[in-house]
Amino acid sequence: MRYVDEYRDAGKARALAARIAELCDPGRTYTFMEVCGGHTYTIYKHGIEDHLPDNVRLVHGPGCPVCVIPMGRVDDALHIAGQPDVIMTSFGDMMRVPGGSASFLDAKAAGADIRMVYSPLDALKIARRNPGRRVVFMAIGFETTTPSTAMTVLRAADEGLDNFSVFCNHVTIIPAIKAILDSPDLRLDGFIGPGHVSTVIGCRPYEFIAAEYGRPLVVAGFEPLDILQSIHLLLTQLAEDRVAVENQYGRVVPWDGNGKALHVLSQVMEVRPHFEWRGLGFISHSALRLREAYAAYDAERIFDLPGVRVADPKSCQCGEVLKGVLKPWQCKVFGTACTPETPIGTCMVSSEGACAAYYNFGRFDRAGVREAIRS
Amino acid sequence: MCLGIPGEVVELLTDQPDLAQVEVSGVRRAINIALLEEEGVAPGDWILIHVGFALSKIDEAEARAAMEFLEQMGAAYDDEIDALKESGDG
């Protein structure tokens, strides 16, 4: 297929890999974080690390929406699902995310009315068709899904639907990147920036990373050549002793993002003072809730939530994986007690999770060998 | 969920200006295009769809690459594409 070949041309990949090798200073190491789980997927699917010099390391970031949902929020959602007349709805990815005692799938099997929807608009439709029931949409995701939730709330308000609400768990990517930059555990030399999140927020919100932290960021597409080109751009900046935000994915990502989506988002939602991220703990100003004007659609105000913080299982090291401190295969339960079928940690749940990507492509063996040779 | 699904706009719905008929992986369904109000959408345009909403315009080459990427992701994205196909018109 000619269209796809354009992004996967083996000759171009080899040429890029050679240029990457030339740019690297053999006397130092380079550690780059890919923030987005979709990039993690490409990196393991296509063995991108095998094309890089040994002193260029890629670490995986927190950009997998279900991976960062803390167990206490799953428990809160299950508490709502257990109230009279409630129909709980969410995306398919949410179904296997473990809570303190159960997942959505477990609760559904035990009799709760929990339904998988593709879009928040489908949850709205369920509300229209079931006027005697209270339909709650558990909203999750970064800025790729947030505008859709906001649009759905506006639509519910327009229609005057009084049996629909949103349990808002939307998170924002910038504070998570800042938390990682502030973390003493990890020294990063640059970022491969998220592709589709940036279609909404654009490239400007990343500028503080260059200006205040002196690190480059390149917004990247999802094809193997996109990733290689982005690494090349990062290394070029470092070789030229400059740092900036660059957009490798200009064919999809406008520099200023989607103005209408940002407008709707800020009309309906506001930043929370703090929010817990699974494995990362509380991060200031890192999540969104509905504004007071839309209180009638806010499940957190409608239902009395336990709001109990549930510690991650001791054996689970998702936090270290989400911060890029550990490779998935370095976690004690990886591939043994924790698998995609019976996940202990969220990174093993979604196909965008770093652990699931490693597990599914059997990359951990090779990575383990490489790591053993290096150490 | 974080990765958009590409589709080709087939028809704008004059009675519902927020919606367009979009062909996605061989199936037509209504997609909300209100978030592309500033760019404008016309039949023949390719868009990236996130959970029922078009968030960006793309070209045909990008659309084909994006679809193949999703198809390679296997079960998780098969489920999402199936869910999109079955999802109603909002």
What ipTM describes this predicted complex?
0.89
Domain carrying residue B75: 5-86
HSE-CB at A159 with a 13 A cutoff on CA atoms is: 18
Distance CA(A358)–CA(B19), nearest Å, equals: 39
- Is domain A71-171+287-302 classified as CATH 3.40.50.11740? yes
Angle, CA A373 vertex, CA A371 and CA A374 arms, to 5°? 65
pLDDT band for position A2 (50/70/90)? Answer: very low
Interchain contact, B87 vs A118, CB within 8 Å: yes
Distance CA(A225)–CA(A21), nearest Å, equals: 15
Interchain contact, B35 vs A264, CB within 8 Å: yes
Average pLDDT for runs of 10 along chain B of length 90 = 85 92 90 94 96 94 84 72 68
> Which residues are CB-contacts of A167 (< 8 A; sequence separation ≥ 6)?
A76, A77, A80, A136, A137, A138, A139, A299, A300
B71: domain CATH number? Answer: 2.30.30.140
pLDDT at A53: 95
Question: Testing the interface with A: which of B50, B64, B84, B86 to mutate, by most A Cβ within 10 A?
Answer: B50
pLDDT at A44: 87
> What is the DSSP secondary structure assignment for residue A287, as one 8-state letter?
B
Chain A residue at shortest CA distance from B5: A196
Report the run of H or E that residue A106 belongs to, with start and end.
helix A104-109
Task: Tell me which residue in B1, B4, B34 faces A65 most closely, judged by beta carbons.
Answer: B1
A200/A371: higher pLDDT: A200
Q: What is the mean pLDDT of chain A?
A: 90
Q: What is the pLDDT of residues A237-282, one digit of tens each?
A: 999 999 999 999 999 999 999 999 999 999 999 999 999 998 888 9
pLDDT at A372: 46
Q: How many residues does chain A have?
A: 375
Q: What is the pLDDT of residues A45-71, one digit of tens each?
A: 888 999 999 999 999 888 888 888 999
pLDDT at A369: 45
Average pLDDT over residues A321-328: 84
Which residues in chain B are contacts of A124 at CB distance < 8 A? 90
Q: At residue A215, what are phi and psi to the nearest 5 degrees?
A: -120, 140
- The answer, for A40 touching chain B at a CB cutoff of 8 Å, is no
pLDDT band for position A156 (50/70/90)? Answer: very high
A145/B75: higher pLDDT: A145
Interchain contact, A118 vs B32, CB within 8 Å: no
Distance CA(B24)–CA(A183), nearest Å, equals: 42
> Other C-beta atoms within 10 Å of A317: how many?
24
Provide the terminal-to-terminal Cα distance of chain A, rounded to the nearest Å: 42
Nearest chain B CA: its distance from A373 CA (Å) = 31
Distance CA(A5)–CA(B61), nearest Å, equals: 10
Nearest chain B CA: its distance from A219 CA (Å) = 14
Using CB atoms within 10 A of its CB, is residue A258 exposed (0-12), middle (13-18) or buried (19+)?
buried
**DSSP string of B15-62?**
TSTTEEEEEETTEEEEEE-GGGTTT---TT-EEEEETTEEEEEE-HHH
Nearest to B52, CA basis, from A185, A151, A60: A151
Q: What is the pLDDT of residues A211-226, one digit of tens each?
A: 999 999 999 999 999 9
Average pLDDT over residues A111-127: 96
Lowest-pLDDT range of A106-120, A154-168, B18-32: B18-32
Distance CA(A210)–CA(A204), nearest Å, equals: 11
Q: What is the 3-state secondary structure (H, E, C) of A212-255?
A: CCCCCEEECCCCHHHHHHHHHHHHHHHHCCCCCEEECCCCCCCC
> Which 111-170 residues of chain A touch chain B by CB within 8 A?
116-122, 124-125, 140-142, 144-145, 147-148, 151
Nearest chain B CA: its distance from A94 CA (Å) = 10
The amino acid occupying position A274 is H
> pTM here?
0.90
- Sheet bearing A217-219, strands edge to edge: A56-63, A30-36, A190-193, A217-219, A245-247
Domain ranges of chain A: 71-171+287-302, 318-369
Q: At residue A171, what are phi and psi to the nearest 5 degrees?
A: -120, 165
Average pLDDT over residues A324-338: 88
Q: How many domains does chain B have?
A: 1
